[in-house]
């Protein structure tokens, strides 16, 4: 890790360095941001209006894709068969393909069960798109139930 590399060159505290960089850049054109304990520089949100150069194609997700994404995000890592069991309906390859294309999900490995099925989990772009720092920032199931009811 970066912390190990820095500590081998002297007495460094990575958390202090990150805080200093965050404070140094917070009023500039770029900011230090983090998603899932991964740090990166990105354009400051107050410049969004000036950076609308590229238009994004909007793509409506099917209800099946939305259900599948919700199941993956709350039950990850999860296999296709497990998704189908929870949904009570088959998951078509195109559903997973559309979520993969958006980089919202990724393969998370294989289960040590017969057939060694692929498991799926959310990708970092899912967190970025929905403004989450980590998957634990998702609303809890009981919170969702109170909103719906």
Answer yes or no: is pLDDT of 12 > 80: no
Residues 6+ apart with CB under 8 A from 141: 74
- Burial string for 10-40 (b: 16+ CB within 10 Å, else e) reads eeeeeeeeeeeeeeeeeeeeebbbebeeeee
User: pLDDT category, 5, cuts 50, 70, 90?
Assistant: low
Percent of the chain whose predicted confidence (pLDDT) is above 70: 87
| Residue whose C-alpha is closest to residue 40's, from 21, 13, 23, 56 | 21
Q: CA of 149: how far to CAs of 63, 74, 87, 142, 145, in Å?
A: 20, 20, 20, 11, 6
Pair of tokens at residue 121: 């989990």
Q: Is the pLDDT of residue 7 over 90?
A: no
| Per-residue pLDDT at 85 exceeds 90 | yes
pLDDT at 95: 94
> What is the per-residue pLDDT across 41-59, written as a single tens digit (0 to 9) for each?
888 888 877 776 655 666 7
Q: What integer pLDDT is reported at residue 20 of this predicted model?
A: 86
Measured CA to CA, the distance from residue 42 to residue 80 in angstroms comes to 34
How does 69-102 read in b/e, with b if 16+ C-beta sit within 10 Å?
A: bebbbbeebbbbebbeebeeeebeeebbebbeeb
Chain segment 90-143, per-residue pLDDT in tens: 999 899 999 999 999 999 999 999 999 999 999 999 999 988 999 988 888 777
Domains and CATH numbers, the chain: 2-45 (no CATH), 63-148 (1.10.10.10)
Output the average pLDDT for the chain: 86
In total, the chain counts a number of residues equal to 149
pLDDT band at 15 (very low <50, low <70, confident <90, very high): confident
| Whether residue 6 has pLDDT greater than 70 | no
């Amino acid at each position: 890790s970066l912390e190990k590399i820095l500590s081998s060159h002297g007495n460094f505290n990575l958390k202090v360095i990150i805080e200093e960089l965050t404070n140094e850049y917070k009023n500039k054109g770029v900011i230090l941001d983090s998603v899932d304990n991964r740090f990166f520089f990105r354009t400051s949100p107050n410049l969004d209006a000036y950076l609308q150069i590229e238009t994004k194609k909007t793509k409506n997700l099917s209800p099946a894709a939305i259900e599948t994404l919700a199941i993956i995000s709350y039950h990850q890592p999860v296999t296709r068969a497990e998704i189908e069991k929870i949904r009570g309906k088959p998951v078509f390859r195109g559903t997973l393909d559309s979520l993969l294309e958006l980089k919202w999900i990724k393969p998370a490995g294989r289960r040590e069960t017969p057939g060694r099925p692929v498991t799926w989990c959310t990708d970092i772009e899912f967190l970025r798109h929905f403004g989450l720092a980590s998957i634990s920032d998702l609303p809890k199931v009981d919170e969702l139930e109170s909103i719906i009811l």
